[in-house]
């Protein structure tokens, strides 16, 4: 994920964290040859994707009941058949 933010506008922020959290980030940054800034951006991006703007899988969506069929489909109305040919 390194350098994925280079071409994006970056907003400077200040964050207060506990000493143990800060030390963990700094140690991990040294072990992985990265900056703490990179790790924090990655953590914030992950939080945003999973908690703020999660994507819903199509398999998790429940089918909608839209009422009764107005008219039966003809062979001409079958779009899927046409796409699979």
Half-sphere exposure of 80 (CA within 13 A, CB side): 1
What integer best gives the mean pLDDT of the chain? 85
How far is Cα 47 from Cα 80, in angstroms, rounded to an integer? 37
| 42 close to 1: Cβ distance less than 8 angstroms | yes
pTM of the model: 0.57
Q: What is the pLDDT of residues 30-70, one digit of tens each?
A: 999 999 999 999 999 999 999 999 888 888 888 888 888 88
| 29 close to 36: Cβ distance less than 8 angstroms | yes
Q: Show the CA angle centred on residue 33, arms to residues 27 and 36, nearest 5°.
A: 55
- 1-54 carries CATH number 1.10.1220: yes
């Amino acid at each position: 994920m390194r350098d994925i933010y280079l071409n994006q506008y970056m907003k400077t922020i200040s964050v207060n964290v506990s000493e143990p959290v800060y030390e963990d980030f700094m140690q991990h940054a040294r072990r992985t040859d990265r900056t703490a800034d990179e790790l924090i951006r990655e953590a914030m991006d992950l939080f945003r994707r999973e908690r703020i703007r999660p994507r819903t899988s199509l398999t998790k969506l429940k089918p909608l009941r839209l009422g009764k069929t107005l008219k039966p489909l003809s062979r001409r109305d079958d779009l899927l058949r046409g796409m699979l040919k």
